[in-house]
Amino acid sequence: MRLERTSGFSALVLAMGFAVIHQGPLTSTASAQSLAEAVITQKEMVVTANPLATEAGAHVLRRGGTAVDAMVAAQTVLGLVEPQSSGLGGGAFVVYYDAKTGRLTTVDARETAPLSATGERFLDEEGESIGFLNAWQSGLSVGVPGVPRLMEYMHDQYGRLSWRALFVPAARLAVDGFELTERTSTQVAGLLGFNPEDGPRLFFRDPTSFEYFVNPDGTAKPAGTVVRNLPYAETLAQLAKYGADTFYNGDIADAIVEAVANDLNIPGDLSAMDLADYRVIEREPVCVEYRSFDVCGMGPPSSGGIAVGQILGILRPFDLGALEPISVEAAHLFAQAGRLAFADRNLYVADSDFVSVPIAGLLNDDYLASRSALIDPGRDLGQAVPGLPPGADSTRAADYRAKSSGTSHISIVDRYGNALSMTTTIESSFGNGVMIEGFLLNNELTDFSFRPADAEGNPIANRVQAGKRPRSSMSPTIIFDADGDVAFLTGSPGGSRIIGYTAQSIINMIDFELDPQEAINIPHYGNRNGDTELEEALPGITGPGDAASLEAGLVALGHPISIRALTSGLSIIQITEEGLIGGADKRRDGAVGGR
């Protein structure tokens, strides 16, 4: 595939006078069915799930900002223009490489459970689950947000530009207005469709969010509607002037506590003390060797770095490079590795500040080789059982739940050589549906197990506990070459499928030697220890090949098959001698920017 070398910016002009690089063939005669092509820049690059957020980050980079400066600008815009996915009311994980020191770190800004939370949080008086929908659309699901504290923490250490200046792009958009995207409008309509025709609303029950997203006649505001969000602009002004403390103390914190306590479905118990006590935590990266590369990601409370590392480690003995990316053999092996990794993930991984997680054992070479030996090239494993890695506690019960998620991903490389891979979320689409001060609250606590133990009383590692951070699948990843230099950045939204999307992107680039955009365009396949999922064809977005064409071959190997939309949002950057090569996922509204 030809790589398009970008010599300037295309002419999408925003109210603040910014421009953005679009992906794909930059010719007026390009077919509507042409696949997006990779973009090359020379100095710096940012990739996000929305062109306005990408341009905000690119604008900051052009002014000499660092990757962290660009992240703050991009995140605040994403929270405005892609509100179903992330925002000030949510949390995030960052994998960050500091070129000056050569240090790699990961920063945990996951939401925390209230100090009053117990393992019975999502059970009724009879000890039965209140159900996911009730929990999602309630005050019980709201954890303490981490994004504002994360942005300030990272900027204090790695920022270069003025803190205040980084909020200007989002504030201008909030005041001047922006067009609602098709993706946002469609998701609003989908959730409204779950409400009963008669009776109180569950989705968009909050009058503020209802007015913001929904027409007076009860239909979703259509794509293209110009939306303004003055309360969000005011919140950004407060953050710009006073820093993150203004979010965790004072009027904004009081508004969060009040909204949670007065939820129209089920009230919650988040307190002012919970907000005031919130801290981000730097943690050690989780790294695994794959071929001649070191693949580094986020450790607990994320399962992403461990599970991606396990998938790659399990696949090490197989010569994937001799196969085609879209082949029965490749899909079968990848699905088997996914089964084995998810079996371990569901049993062992949770917040390591509360439970012992055998990270070293799960990534131990001998243990991974023993798991790999379970794969039969001619037959599906069926549901895999967890292994017993070195250092593991075998008295636990598994948490098998796997949900979709409202999440986004940002990848940035700046002119100084710093690299940032960040996955950011408010959990399910539109979080818990309640909007205050211009942003939505998260429903992150539904990522916990709804039960503290199994029927035999064995504790579930991912049970609710006071102050605990729920397990996540977010997998921000930075990959280093044999010389220790940054080679790739990758990551994706997509709930528990994030693990497969991220691992597949790595294999596509390392084993199949595809460029970042080709790696994204390849149809997805994977297995979370259930059905083997194949992606529905998306003309003009996925290809070459159609994952659905794999069905007959995989069925012959015993795979249970589901064919469905697999809406990743991969943001990938490759660093080469020729420049930075970027790819963005057109399954969403991804765009690459930089120069």
If you write DSSP's letter for every residue of 21-86 in order, what string do you get?
A: PPPS--STT--TTPPP--EEESS-EEEESSHHHHHHHHHHHHTT--HHHHHHHHHHHHHHHSTTT-
Query: Alpha helix (H) ranges present in 122-250?
Result: 132-136, 147-158, 168-176, 182-192, 207-213, 230-242, 245-248
Has residue 36 got a pLDDT over 60? Answer: yes
Q: How far apart are CA 239 and CA 246, in angstroms?
A: 6
Q: With a cut of 50, say whether residue 162 has pLDDT above it.
A: yes
Contact status, residue 493 vs residue 423, Cβ threshold 8 Å: yes
Buried (b) or exposed (e) across 222-255, using 16+ Cβ within 10 A?
A: eeebebebebbbbbbebbbeebbebbbeeebbee
- Give the catalytic positions in this structure: 407
Identify the pLDDT of residue 15.
27
Q: What is the pLDDT of residues 37-47, one digit of tens each?
A: 999 999 999 99
Query: Does pLDDT of 197 surpass 90?
Result: no
From CA 590, how far away is CA 183, in angstroms rounded?
A: 12
DSSP state for residue 549 in the 8-state scheme:
G
Q: Above 60 in pLDDT, residue 525?
A: yes
When computed from its CA atoms, the radius of gyration of the chain, rounded to whole angstroms, is 22
Do β-strands 178-179 and 103-109 pair in parallel, antiparallel, or remain unpaired?
Answer: unpaired
Instruction: Answer yes or no: is pLDDT of 350 > 80.
Output: yes
What percent of the chain lies above the pLDDT cut of 90?
90
In this prediction, residue 26 carries a pLDDT of 26
Two tokens, residue 307: 């599970």
- For residue 124, count other CB atoms closer than 10 A to its CB: 11
pTM of the predicted structure, to 2 decimals: 0.93
Residue 376 has pLDDT above 80, yes or no: yes
The mean pLDDT value for 550-571 works out to 96
DSSP class of 403: -
Confidence of residue 522 (pLDDT cuts 50, 70, 90): very high
